[in-house]
Every structure is written in C-alpha cells, then in structure tokens.
Amino acid sequence: MSQQKKPAIATLAILWILCGANVTQAQDALPSWNDGAAKQAIVAFVTSTTTEGKADFVPPAERIATFDQDGTLWVEHPMYSFVMYALDRVHTVAKERPELAQVEPFKTVLSGDRAAMAKLTLPDLEKIIAVTYTGMTVEDFADELSRWLAEARDPRWKRPYTELTYQPMQELLKYLRDHGYKTYIVTGGGQDFVRVYSERVYGIPPEQVVGTAGETKFTYAANGKPELVKEPKLLLNDNGVGKPEGIQLVIGRRPRAAFGNSTGDQQMLEYATAGEGAQLAMLVLHDDAKREYAYGPATGLPDTKVGAFTQALYDEATAKSWTVVSMKNDWRKIFTFDE
C-alpha cells in the first residue's frame, strides 16, 4: 500500500470513530443521567413495556406516569414556591382588608420578620393560603400568578422559579412521552397554581395536573358573563393518601410509573406498584449540598420540614426494590444553566 493512502485511511478511521461517538451521544435520550442503576432501570422499564412481543408490553392507553412536582421536578427549598407566592400576596390582600394586619399569622408575615415567619406552623400556612388563593376568578388568579412568576426570584440562584427545574427529570419526561407514556403531575401544591405554567415549563397540559384543590363557585359577573370564583373551602388535599385518591378522581387509571422525593409521595408509589405487570417507582434523594441541597433525614442527611425523606421511607424503598436516585451520584448535571 502506498504511503499516500495510509494518511487517507487513518483520516477515515478517525472520522468513523468520531461519527460513531456522535451517533451514540445522539441516541442517549438521558444525557444528564450518569450511567448507573437508576438510568439502567429507566431504560429497561421503558424498553420492556413499549416493545411489542415482550412479556411486559403495556398497551399505549395504559401507559401512565405520575410525577410529584416540588423536590421531584423542581427545587422546593428553602420553601415551596406556592407558599412563597401566598406570603408575598398577603401584602396585597392586606391593602384590601386592613384588619388582617392585627390578626395572626398575617401580622407576622406583614412584619417582615423572617425568623418569626420561619416558625409559622402548617395550620398557619393553610390559613394564609385560604385567604390569598381565593375570592377571585380563576382567570384573575392565573393572570396574577403569571405576573408573580415573571418577577419573583429564588433567593439562592436569583432566577425565576420556573428556571429551577431539574434537567434530568425534564429528559425523563420527554423520554417517556416519546415512547407513548402520558405524563401527569400529581402534587401536594395547588392544582390551579401548577396549571398556570405546567405546559410551558414541563410540556404537561393543565388537564394532566392533579393537585390540592379548593372549591369554585359558578356565578355571573356584572356584565352577565359566567365565571368561576375560587372559594376558601378545601376540595382535595393531594398529599399522602390524597395522591392515589386524586389519581383515581382525575386520571382513572393506576400509574405504571411513579416518581417522588418525600413521605408525601409514599402512597402514590405504593399504589402504582400494587398493580399487575411491570412498574417503575423512583424517589429522588437530595444529597448534593454543593449543587442543590442536602436533606433527608434518610441516610443521616439533615432533617427538614420541607420535603422530608425519612429513613423509614428509604427502608421501604429498599425492601420493595424501588429505585432511590442520588442527586449527587446519578445526575451529571442538575439545571440547564449548570456548566
């Protein structure tokens, strides 16, 4: 072989290797996931349930996947975004109802004392949400929330809350949908709250959002136009046992896959894995204080009131072969803006 042909052959070989690498990269639908047990479990589940002829094949109509939102799809610390919205809106409501300035827990919020606000109890927050989320039409609520989302910034990253979604989970949502799965958000947060941005942020339409919901009242505006007004009465607490109850109420099918991160998601995963055939259950463990946050208290991580992942839940996941996703070890990157 002539010396002139050898460089040409070598060049072709290099190009072949590079092209092969690019093809492999292009075929990886989960590039933000490190290769490991979690990623392998996802791929194996999707392959086995969507390949005709396989024993675990699931008909398209039954391909349902449910996702908790806070702490599973986006950041929930130091406080849930739907609570941050309610706290901010106290100031607006107090202008219309000045008597609230002398009533707890509104008095504490209006004081601006962050240390005191951090001590507010769950019943305190429920009172605040009952006042700040109601008394307006569903359209007015959506408009006001949209403005808040455009202006509000997370205290750590100084970015809009809607930019703090987890890139690995965004890839997972798309991967499932590309294989015929219908993805639902099943959240303890406000249903109307999440429906405002779910399609834009996650590609999930509002009718595929199940969340904590209050009653609405049908009435007529001054111009005679029919409208729905948000009422201060709880219809569904979509947390804990409320999640499978909400799934039945809105979806009407048992999920084949369920994803969460806390004890509030426990019953949803139990319900999903109690059905027939192949299932996938995953829990995100926040163990990366450098890139996000670290809290549990499972595996000795710091305890928390927001999104607690207890050791008992971790032990149940181990016993039932649910996959625990380590944010630190399983995710190559967390946010789109990560380097």
Q: List average pLDDT for each run of 10 residues in the chain, which is 339 residues long.
A: 48 44 60 98 98 97 98 97 96 93 94 89 92 96 97 97 98 98 98 98 98 97 97 96 98 98 98 96 98 98 97 98 98 94
Q: Quick one: pLDDT at residue 170?
A: 98
Angstrom distance (rounded) from CA 40 to CA 133: 42
Task: Report if residue 199 sits inside a domain.
Answer: yes
DSSP H helical ranges for 28-100 = 37-50, 81-96
Task: Report if residue 237 sits inside a domain.
Answer: yes
Strand 226-236 with 209-220, pairing: antiparallel
Task: Report if residue 83 sits inside a domain.
Answer: no
pLDDT in tens, 241-254: 999 999 999 999 99
Task: Report if residue 89 sits inside a domain.
Answer: no
Task: Report if residue 293 sits inside a domain.
Answer: yes
Task: Report if residue 121 sits inside a domain.
Answer: no
Angstrom distance (rounded) from CA 199 to CA 179: 19
Residue 53 CA to its chain's centroid (Å): 33
Angstrom distance (rounded) from CA 308 to CA 296: 6
Q: Quick one: pLDDT at residue 259?
A: 99
Task: Report if residue 14 sits inside a domain.
Answer: no
104-142 CB burial, b ≥16 within 10 A, e <16: ebbebbeeeeeeebeebeeebbebbbbbbbbbebeeebb
**Other residues' Cβ atoms within 10 Å of the Cβ of residue 71:** 27
Of 339, 336, 5, nearest to 164 by C-alpha is 336
How many separate domains does the chain show? 1
Q: Quick one: pLDDT at residue 27?
A: 76
Q: Quick one: pLDDT at residue 23?
A: 34
Domain that holds residue 40: 32-76+164-330
Angstrom distance (rounded) from CA 7 to CA 151: 58
297-333 CB burial, b ≥16 within 10 A, e <16: ebeebeebeebbbeeebbebbeeeebbbbbbbebbeb
Task: Report if residue 180 sits inside a domain.
Answer: yes
> In this structure, what CATH number is given to the domain that contains residue 298?
3.40.50.1000
